Amino acid sequence: MENMSMNVRIRLSVMMFLQYMMLPVWWLPLATYLEKVGLDEWKALIMSTMALGCLSSPLIGTFADRHFASQYVLAVLNLFSGVLLIIGAQLTSGLAVFIALLLAMLAYMPTWGLTSSISMAHSRAEEFPNIRVFGSIGWVAAGIFSIVALYILKIKIDGTKIVFYCGAAVSFIGAAFAFFLPHTPPPAKGTKASVVDVLGLRSFSLFKYPDFALYVVVSIMVTIAFSIYWSYFSLYLTDKGVELLTFTQNFGQAVEIVLMLVVPIAIAKIGLKWAMVVGLLAQLVRYGSLLLGEATGAEMALAYVAILVHGLIFGFFFVGGQIYVDRKAPKEMRAQAQGFMFLATFGVGLLIGNFLCDWLIKAYTVEDVRQWQPIWLWTTIASAIVVVLFAIAFHDRTQAVEKSDVTAAEEEEPAVI
């Protein structure tokens, strides 16, 4: 594949910026918001809407692979999720909020896999982190907006329904911008689709590769441990007296901006497997730091360590995994395969993790006071197990697969339009 033009690179980068900005502005402070409006008993279920939203990812990926240009699918999904966020901001019933946010997430979560497949259709997979980094910049921009709102506009948005309106506004901008993206036609258009294809189950054929099956299992385990930071870390920060929740957590994404650019270099130097191991070690450092902070009384100092390693975790393991999936999947299945992995990680893994971590937090809550030290002990143990399992048992055979198993049609690179 020829190097993409600067025009295409800019458009793909803006797409990532908008797509990853529209979520954190309302998602990161959501747990605290639910407590403030008296919906604490609904918290675990509502916080699982992201995981449940991934259920539609393989199906949407199939449509993009076979029936519709990916940029048009992205536009419709963003428009729909924006409308649902506005509706969710008006609701006060726990069930109603759950339904509205579930529908919003069923539209939004497939866009992560979709934007990845759009980007990699117009660039080499190894160049993807240089585009994906603008998603991290967008994530940080959401946190900066909360600071601007507080200190310049004199409006505190964290923990209020204003955050839903902010997310909706970015969604609408993202929907409009999708029409200016490089044309990405369905690579398998005209191919007869079976029930298996319609349900997005074709990607299960990749389980014939033992390394892929192990990667999926480990990814789910990683996300279960990852979920307590992703969904409930705002509770920890609130317990420690932090008010700027989104801004504080976004220090991790700020560092991620730099680290994402290092991912291609790391893959070239140490290989894809060991780059992903670095991400797993970073998660072990995260929870080990939080555990040590509770044990020594240096909670906030080490909490910042836990926040700052986020870029290593997300960039090296999760984005590295997206590159692995792109290498492993045949061309006509790549959007579906990316959607399947988001279902496995931020779907199955996050769903299990949300309920398991909610149970863990409640189990160590005494007289409304959360005891965080044993909570971080369990997440540290879980993180150590997945590092050892992946480092010993996983073998990256994607290059061998590309040379021997991919047909000539699959080797033909999609044209940049």
pLDDT tens track for 94-121? 999 999 999 999 999 989 888 988 888 8
In the three-class reduction of DSSP (H, G, I as helix; E, B as strand; rest coil), residue 255 is classed as helix
Per-residue confidence at 193, pLDDT binned at 50, 70, 90? low
Report pLDDT for 162.
86
Report pLDDT for 257.
82
Q: Does some domain include residue 215?
A: yes
Per-residue confidence at 157, pLDDT binned at 50, 70, 90? confident
On the question of pLDDT at 405 being above 60, the answer is: no
Where is pLDDT greater, at 145 or 268? 268
Q: Does some domain include residue 194?
A: no
On the question of pLDDT at 350 being above 90, the answer is: no
pLDDT in tens, 38-94: 888 888 789 889 888 888 877 787 777 777 888 999 999 999 999 999 999 999 899
Which domain range does residue 256 map to? 6-182+202-402
Average pLDDT value for residue range 155-160: 72
Report the chain's mean pLDDT, rounded to a whole number.
84
On the question of pLDDT at 406 being above 50, the answer is: no
CATH of the domain at 217: 1.20.1250.20
On the question of pLDDT at 410 being above 50, the answer is: no
Where is pLDDT greater, at 284 or 144? 284
On the question of pLDDT at 258 being above 80, the answer is: yes
Q: Does some domain include residue 302?
A: yes
Report pLDDT for 41.
84
β-pair partners for 366: 369
Q: Does some domain include residue 135?
A: yes
pLDDT in tens, 128-148: 888 988 988 898 888 777 777
Where is pLDDT greater, at 51 or 380? 380
Report pLDDT for 173.
96
> What residues have CB less than 8 Å from 267, skipping those under 6 apart?
126, 275, 320, 323
Per-residue confidence at 152, pLDDT binned at 50, 70, 90? confident
Report pLDDT for 117.
82
Instruction: Annotate 157-168 with b (16+ C-beta within 10 A) or e (fewer).
Output: bbbbbbbbbbbb
pLDDT in tens, 166-192: 899 999 999 999 999 999 888 767 666
Per-residue confidence at 403, pLDDT binned at 50, 70, 90? very low
Q: Does some domain include residue 413?
A: no
Report pLDDT for 18.
95
Per-residue confidence at 195, pLDDT binned at 50, 70, 90? low
Average pLDDT value for residue range 7-35: 89
Average pLDDT value for residue range 348-365: 90
Per-residue confidence at 3, pLDDT binned at 50, 70, 90? low
Report pLDDT for 198.
58
| Two structure tokens written together for 31 | 């747990």
Per-residue confidence at 150, pLDDT binned at 50, 70, 90? low
Q: Does some domain include residue 34?
A: yes
Residues above pLDDT 90, as percent of the chain = 41
Report pLDDT for 417.
28
On the question of pLDDT at 215 being above 70, the answer is: yes
On the question of pLDDT at 273 being above 60, the answer is: yes
Average pLDDT value for residue range 140-164: 75
Where is pLDDT greater, at 118 or 291? 291
- The tally of domains found in the chain comes to 1
Q: Does some domain include residue 365?
A: yes
Q: Does some domain include residue 412?
A: no
Average pLDDT value for residue range 364-381: 93
